[in-house]
Amino acid sequence: MDQNPTAPPPASSTRTGAAPGVAGDFAPPADGRPRRRYAVAGTGHRAGLYVAGLTGDHADVAEIVAWLDPNPARIDYYDAEAGHALGRNAPLGLPRYTPDALERMIAEQRVETVVVTSVDRTHADLVDRSLRAGADVVVEKPLTTDAAGCRRITRAVADTGNDVVMTFNYRYAPRNSTLRQVIADGTVGRVTGVHFEWVLDTMHGADYFRRWHREKANSGGLLVHKASHHFDLVNWWIDDVPARVYASGGLRFYGDANAAARGMGPRPERGTGADADPFTLDLRDDPRLEALYLRAEDHDGYLRDRDPFAPGVTIEDNMAVLVDYRGGATLTYALNAHSPWEGYRVSVNGTRGRAELTVVERGHLQLGDDGTIDLDPSATPGGPDLDPVRPVEERLVVQRHWGRAEEVAIPDGIGGHGGGDAILLMDVFRRDLRVRPDPLGRPAGHLDGVRAVAVGIAANESMRTGRPVRVDDLGLGT
């Protein structure tokens, strides 16, 4: 449900079950057990994943009891969606609150857990206040956007003893958890270095430059908002903590100055209603985006479909990062947001050999007759005309010293984000029903969130100063 319409849809999004052993074992809830009471703070697009889980597969153990958002139109959308999902012919009519009334909401509705899916810059405030008001928290990545936010959250956890669940869904994608298992098994020996390259194509990548993420004050830039996923994967894969970061990057493709330098000519302020071209997004083409954003503009003036070449972009679209880990390994990382294809490559070097994970999520984009992007058949795995040169695929290869390369089978997952979303939700809403601890350690807490954003926060400081940054010098509260 939550797959962004500009992101490549994985094959797992249409599956109804995962391969044996992928999702873990959970006991059924006891008869008469009361459902846990949740509030959703932030009713934008990303909230859809949790609303669907709370009103679908996990409605037997959890329930939504309140909404919190400054925009009533977005609450209207989810209130109606939830009512439909629960088999009613009308919206649920749940109590609704604005962010200034968070504490009152928790008290009045006896909220046990707040799900935070709001704008990134608001995470630290909502997490801190929720914990201090007596609720646990489930928070979307990134945990927060700056060092002050990290300190605020870690203090609140220490002061209250309440719990923070960090939802790193990429840990649950079977291709990523299989690589974790290979490393944990010692197949490649002690890890000495990781090379990680992620590329976003000009459909998905451009979307970060249309919406609030385009301003670093809101998102921390892609090295915090997007790459915190990736840095968490490396931290988790090699079971280590980042110690020193050096970064370089810039805005070299999107933004008004780059458009002018390439002679692109006048651009529309927004995509809806504009002449079609590969970089416009018309919100009317997607009923969900139309309801959540176009029909909600009167309340807050937020434009979800800004032209990615409009003035005001303050984030980078090309980034390179070097990370030294406490245990001695080095990460080299690159992120590009205007690639002709989408996916990632990871190489893990160790004292016994090397593991290589290659993921192609969308092989190419092509233009239709009207000048807009026409999704190619390779965007749908199993389509009739797969790209023979760059097919959609995920492949894990391991090669030991003095041995032939061997392919490691990747089991099937379910849901978006490489098959990880639906499996993640089991741990979010049923973690106390787990029969045994996860052997891969996929569930994440606030310290995992801090260590993931630590790399991006340090990288932003490094790009600002031109110098390497020691993570301990940031004073993140860990």
Same domain, 227 and 92: no
For 25, the token pair is 């074992």
- Residue 243: inside a domain, yes or no? yes
CATH number at residue 90: 3.40.50.720
What amino acid occupies position 366?
Q
CATH number at residue 444: 3.30.360.10
pLDDT in tens, 391-433: 999 999 999 999 999 999 998 766 555 567 889 999 999 999 9
Residues 6 or more apart in contact with residue 87 via CB below 8 angstroms: none
Q: Please identify every stretch of the chain with a pLDDT value under 70, giving residue numbers as ranges.
A: 1-21, 375-385, 413-419
| Pairing mode of beta strands 318-325, 342-350 | unpaired
Q: Which of 357, 373, 351, 358 is nearest to 271 (CA)?
A: 373
- Residue 306: inside a domain, yes or no? no
Cα distance between the two ends of the chain: 35
For 251, the token pair is 């805005």
Please report, for the chain, how many H helices and E strands are present, in that order: 16, 18
pTM, two decimals, is 0.93
Same domain, 213 and 283: no
- Total domains present in the chain: 3
Same domain, 151 and 187: no
Cis status, amide bond into 437, omega within 30 of 0: no
Domain extent, residue 114, equals: 35-167
Same domain, 129 and 231: no
Q: What is the pLDDT of residue 432?
A: 93
Same domain, 402 and 450: yes
Q: What is the pLDDT of residue 15?
A: 45
What amino acid occupies position 77?
Y
Contact indicator for 358, 395 with CB cutoff of 8 Å: yes
